[in-house]
């Protein structure tokens, strides 16, 4: 983050019921697609959902074990790769972190608004991706995935 944030945000992490509901929805969707929600995938998604904000991979590794032991990095990275591929998580490259997908659909372009003051991150619709898609098709390319990251200040930081 660019500078210290001297105010408090009132958005907290999701409730346990919200996390459980999202995990159930994800599991049902994967089952319908013929995929398995392994224990490792479930745990990583649970950690992302419970955080309610972007989380660095090594923080996921440290929090992974329910017995206090960290996971082996390949376990977490494989789970993250699967969750990304299935549209359940996104990697935000500019801050080297992962976040649970708020839309839960595979075929959408992700756009993130990232506050450089407090780190708040919000997933929003990405109409710019449609124009990029048209330009890519005109050039003979086929875009598989688009992630747009925009840095600035959130409403709370602007008001502070």
154 in a labelled binding site = yes
Q: How far apart are CA 108 and CA 88, in angstroms?
A: 11
157 in a labelled binding site = yes
DSSP collapsed to 3 states, 13-78: CCCHHHHHHHHHHHHHHHHHCCCCCCHHHHHHHHHHHHHCCCECHHHHHHHHCCCCCCCCHHHHHH
DSSP string, 76-105: HHHHHHHHHHTTSEEEEGGGTEEEE-SS--
Q: Which residues are annotated as a binding site?
A: 115, 118, 130, 154, 157
Q: Which residues are annotated as a binding site for Zn(2+)?
A: 115, 118, 154, 157
Q: Which residues are annotated as a binding site for Fe cation?
A: 130
């Amino acid at each position: 983050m660019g500078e210290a944030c001297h105010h408090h945000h009132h958005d907290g992490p999701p409730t346990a019921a919200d996390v459980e509901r999202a995990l159930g929805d994800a599991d049902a969707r994967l089952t319908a697609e013929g995929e398995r929600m392994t224990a490792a995938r479930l745990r990583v998604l649970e950690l992302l959902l419970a955080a309610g904000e972007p989380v660095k991979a090594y923080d996921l590794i440290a929090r992974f074990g329910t017995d206090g032991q960290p996971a082996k990095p390949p376990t977490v990275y494989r789970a993250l790769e699967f969750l990304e591929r299935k549209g359940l998580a996104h990697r935000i490259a500019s801050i080297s972190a992962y976040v649970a997908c708020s839309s839960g659909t595979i075929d959408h372009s992700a756009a993130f608004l990232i506050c450089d003051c407090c780190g708040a991150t919000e997933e929003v619709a990405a109409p710019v991706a449609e124009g990029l898609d048209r330009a890519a098709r005109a050039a003979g390319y086929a875009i598989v995935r688009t992630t747009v990251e925009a840095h600035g200040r959130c409403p709370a930081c602007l008001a502070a």
